[in-house]
Amino acid sequence: MAKTKHPLAQAPLDELAAELGRRRAALPKLRARREKIREELGALESEIAALEALGGGPRKTPAATRSAGTGARKGKGKGSPRPGTLREKISKILGQDPMRPAEIAAGLVEKGLHQGGKALNIQVSTTLAKFDEFSRVARGQWIRKD
């Protein structure tokens, strides 16, 4: 008799019968799940067809429209700040007098440039460190380069 390496080949006959029974018992549940997924797929297909009929063919996502070389504007001092960015707002608050990130964050909220939040101090600190237009003059104190 040939030996096989399959784990069920070595199992006693009663255990094989029990396993077959468990798998057969799971079959109706699997069929019901398949039907539910088919119905969801049908609904998605009809929704896609309706949108395509309206002339809304496939659109590229913002990530897909960017070329590989441009990406998000990250890094030290690339270009001028985009309008409405935290970088631009910090530039409006920060002058030649050294300020701490917490003071800058408070100024942003006070002048209505930002609604505030838990992480605003961290966002300000990160933005200050990220761009060359801001200069650290002492521990935790920053100025704007002109």
Q: Are residues 45 and 95 in the same domain?
A: no
Q: pLDDT category, 56, cuts 50, 70, 90?
A: low
pLDDT at 60: 55
Q: Does some domain include residue 77?
A: no
Q: What percent of the chain has pLDDT over 90?
A: 14
Domain residue limits at 101: 86-144
Q: Does some domain include residue 110?
A: yes
pLDDT at 21: 93
Q: Does some domain include residue 67?
A: no
- pLDDT at 48 > cutoff 60: yes
Q: Are residues 137 and 92 in the same domain?
A: yes
> Can you tell me the distance from the alpha carbon of 4 to that of 103, in angstroms, rounded to the nearest whole number?
74
Q: Does some domain include residue 99?
A: yes
DSSP state of 7: G
**What single string gives the DSSP state of each residue in 82-103?**
PTTSHHHHHHHH--SS-B-HHH
Which CATH number goes with the domain that contains 118? 1.10.10
Q: Are 137 and 143 in contact (CB under 8 A)?
A: yes
- pLDDT at 47 > cutoff 70: yes
The total number of structural domains in the chain stands at 2
Q: Does some domain include residue 75?
A: no
> Can you tell me the distance from the alpha carbon of 56 to that of 21, in angstroms, rounded to the nearest whole number?
50
Question: Which position has the higher pLDDT, 70 or 86?
Answer: 86
Question: Which position has the higher pLDDT, 26 or 79?
Answer: 26
Angle at 16 between CA 14 and CA 21, to 5 degrees: 95
Average per-residue pLDDT for the chain:
80
Q: Does some domain include residue 1?
A: no
Both tokens of residue 2? Answer: 């040939």
pLDDT at 46: 82
**pLDDT per residue as tens digits for the range 66-76:** 544 544 444 44
Q: Does some domain include residue 16?
A: yes
**pLDDT per residue as tens digits for the range 4-46:** 777 777 888 898 899 899 999 999 999 999 998 988 888 888 8
List phi, psi (to 5°) of 142. -130, 155
